[in-house]
Amino acid sequence: MDRYFVACDAGGTMTDVIIVDEEGRSVIGKAPTSPADESIGYMESLEEALEYMGIDPHGKKGRNFGERIETAIYTGTSMLNTVINMSGLRTGLIVTKGFEDIIAQGRGSQTFIGAQWSEITHMQYRKHRIPLVPRKLARGVTDRIDMFGSPVIPIYEHEVEEAVRELLVDEECEALAVVFLHSFVNAMHEERAATIAKRVMREVGREVPLEISSEVAPTAREVSRANATVIQAYASSTAREQLFGIEKRLDGIGYDHSLKTVLGYGGVTNIRYPRLFETAMSGPVGGLMGAKYLSSVIGEENIVCSDVGGTSFDAGAITAGVLPIDREPGFQDMYVNVPMLGITSIGAGTGTYIRLDPQTKRIKLGPDSAGGTPGPTFMEAGNTTPTINDANLLLGILNEHNYLGGKVKVNKQVSYDLFKEKVSDPLGLDVYEAAETCLELLNVMMREHLVRSLMVGHDLRDYVLLGYGGGGPLHLLGYAGDYPWKAIVTVPHAGAFSAWGGACMDYSYRRHKSVQTMITPDLDDTMKVAYLQPVNMAWQALEDELLEELQAEGFDRDQITTERIVYMKYLGQLDDIEVVSPVTSVDSPADVKELIRAYEDQYTKMFSLVAKPEVGMYQVTEVCVLAKVATVKPRLRKHELAKKKPSKDAFKGKRPVFQHGKWHDADIWRMESLKPGNEIDGLAVIEASNTTLFVPPEFHVRIDEHDIYWITRNDRNDRKDR
């Protein structure tokens, strides 16, 4: 019996499901996201994918399809929504006395996470988020572990007991978080507090989730560690309920394994994974993991990943083949100590609302969005505010008969009437000129986010720009602009590329631990080895922990591979970099030299040599161990190249498209009928059921042997001469 791999990416607007067979072939389903019950959107998307496979989702085979699923992976927005909506558990916080304001006060820089420089420099733009734990639910306990891990003030156990009783009985808290200073070096006080708390719970008859920071995030930076611990206590139970609901629906069609989910750093885990907060930002992760696999196929180590959804524009950069890991990312106006892929987002997508500022009468885009529900105005689902996709429809770029493969009815007249009433008439502009202006404004926002934020300090000529997401190919050449990218590419499955990337991941866990040591030129070889022994100890402790967890989940030791990682920097520089260690432990001077060589090789690939100091003084700030089990993955198969001219059945005809203030006839192509080797000149629109590639007149598309679309500036005269 054939076995299948099913992966899902539930974004703010659309839920994508990809089904992969044992040969690496795949089909994609798409449906609106259903935040109240994510299983609804999931099953609708799965059913559409089954239809593409020729399986009736409600027939006998469809009802039993789950029996053939080897693994099902789901990434959703449930934990994110819990934090956004402030709908998590009432959480109490127990901290080192004197630090009761750690959550409420936070850090000053949290007030401008994601802000532009013009906003950062003006106080009126800064904002403090509502704390997940209000000050009245925080209790201080006398204790102190110093920076070297030595207990200098014993824990006052009676204060712990009193704090737990007050929070559980008087404040009726539904979860508890414990955060003591320097617990990442020595966890003895937090562990003792947890023991006392569990005893008090039994005495008062209330068992609630209890999290300690030394287990959740054993790294430096106490505010970020506290935020991570609180999020785990506050939101993980609610998020897990959504995941259990999806698992139950899969069980109804015969799937008898546990549902898996994606970790923020690109690993896959069981939904019963205790550190579920690590999945809070898993949505955009699949795209970068898919791009990492894609890079191995096209032979490019530097890729800028750009994902245009209905709600947001997510971007990240793979440099020198290394996935960007942010160990202290900003999450909902909080810094958290949890490793996540370095992805930056802005509120810009195809569902972005278009309004006029009531004071200035200027066009204002977003940052909010119509999402999948109620969607653009043309869906007639209750939204009366024009969106970017309404503009795309009016300009002829979107096909009114092919929205989501023609499954959603579109009323173009509604878009026209509302856009005219609310945007173009107040501006005194023609409807189509106003729509094109809005589209260009969105493209400028995305372009500036890439070039002025993500890629500052990097040479664009070294990077391939990859566009994906439902709206990625639609806007790709708009936000690519005139910048000198090394190449511009997209793929036919761009609409579900993040789900496809989810299928490219291994089952893996990642653990970090802070370590502070350095290597200076004045040390002899023996002392250099001695100074790096804390690295060995941390590596071994983390690896033992990971192996125990994976074996407890049923994996054999010989299935598990581990990778040891160190974070190093030149002493005095601000940023450390991730280096995969070429040695399993540092036991000799030769091992030290190998580790330093690996660091310097990685450094020179990522930065200009002018930044490299003349004398090598190295500081180790953190270590990491990655443990993984390989999974079945989709493949980009190599095809025989067809002729440059596409076949007649791929051509759908012509359609007027509004460009640069005028109407032009654009060639309309059916993406599913295009073959590797085909080439297309703009002005063209290439339509698929889950995405649309818009090719302006100045661009040319070539499809390579892996069915990847390479897009370059169009030079018709040169092409005719060849």
The DSSP symbol for 440 reads: H
Q: Please, are residues 240 and 276 in contact by the beta-carbon 8 Å criterion? A: yes
> What are the tens digits of pLDDT across the range 701-710?
999 999 999 9
What residues contact residue 358 under an 8 Å CB cut-off, 6+ apart?
Answer: none
> What are the tens digits of pLDDT across the range 277-322?
888 777 678 889 899 989 988 899 999 999 998 888 889 999 988 8
Q: Please, are residues 502 and 24 in contact by the beta-carbon 8 Å criterion? A: no
Cα separation, 46 vs 31, whole angstroms = 9
Strands 352-356 and 363-369: antiparallel
Strand partners, 651: 669
Q: What is the amino acid identity at position 138? A: A
The DSSP symbol for 25 reads: -
SS3 state of residue 421: helix
Q: Please, are residues 550 and 628 in contact by the beta-carbon 8 Å criterion? A: no
Average pLDDT, the chain: 89
Q: What is the pLDDT at residue 569?
A: 93
Mean pLDDT by 10 residues, the chain (722 residues): 80 81 77 86 90 79 81 81 84 97 90 74 80 95 93 97 97 96 94 97 95 91 93 90 92 88 84 84 81 90 92 89 85 86 85 90 87 86 94 95 82 96 94 96 93 86 94 95 94 85 82 90 93 95 92 88 94 88 95 94 80 84 91 80 94 95 96 95 90 94 95 63 34
Cα separation, 242 vs 282, whole angstroms = 15
Q: Please, are residues 502 and 623 in contact by the beta-carbon 8 Å criterion? A: no
Whose CA is closest to 677, among 709, 699, 700?
709
Written as six digits, the tokens of 95 are: 């901290």
> What are the tens digits of pLDDT across the range 156-179?
999 999 999 999 999 999 999 999
Q: What is the pLDDT at residue 32?
A: 83
Q: Please, are residues 506 and 267 in contact by the beta-carbon 8 Å criterion? A: yes
Strand partners, 31: 15
Written as six digits, the tokens of 637 are: 């198969």
Whose CA is closest to 238, among 397, 132, 311, 325?
132
* Angle, CA 674 vertex, CA 672 and CA 676 arms, to 5°: 120
Strands 692-695 and 684-687: antiparallel
Residues in the chain: 722
Q: What is the pLDDT at residue 717?
A: 43
Which 3-state string (H, E, C) describes 593-604?
HHHHHHHHHHHH
Burial of 643 (0-12, 13-18, 19+ CB in 10 A): exposed
Cα separation, 422 vs 425, whole angstroms = 7
Q: What is the pLDDT at residue 329?
A: 85
SS3 state of residue 11: coil
Q: Please, are residues 52 and 29 in contact by the beta-carbon 8 Å criterion? A: yes
Residue whose pair of structure tokens reads 């966890």 in the numeric block:
187
| pTM exceeds 0.85 for this model | no
Whose CA is closest to 387, among 406, 401, 405, 367?
367
| Sign of the CA dihedral running 266, 267, 272, 277 | negative
What is the Cα Rg of the chain in Å?
A: 27
DSSP string, 252-312: TTT--S--EEE-TTS-EEETT-S-GGGGTT-TTHHHHHHHHHHHHHHT-S-EEEEEE-SS-
What residues contact residue 367 under an 8 Å CB cut-off, 6+ apart?
Answer: 346, 347, 348, 352
Domains of the chain (ranges plus CATH)?
4-81+240-279 (3.30.420.40), 90-208 (no CATH), 507-629 (no CATH), 648-721 (no CATH)
SS3 state of residue 406: helix
Cα separation, 507 vs 495, whole angstroms = 24
Q: Please, are residues 449 and 315 in contact by the beta-carbon 8 Å criterion? A: yes
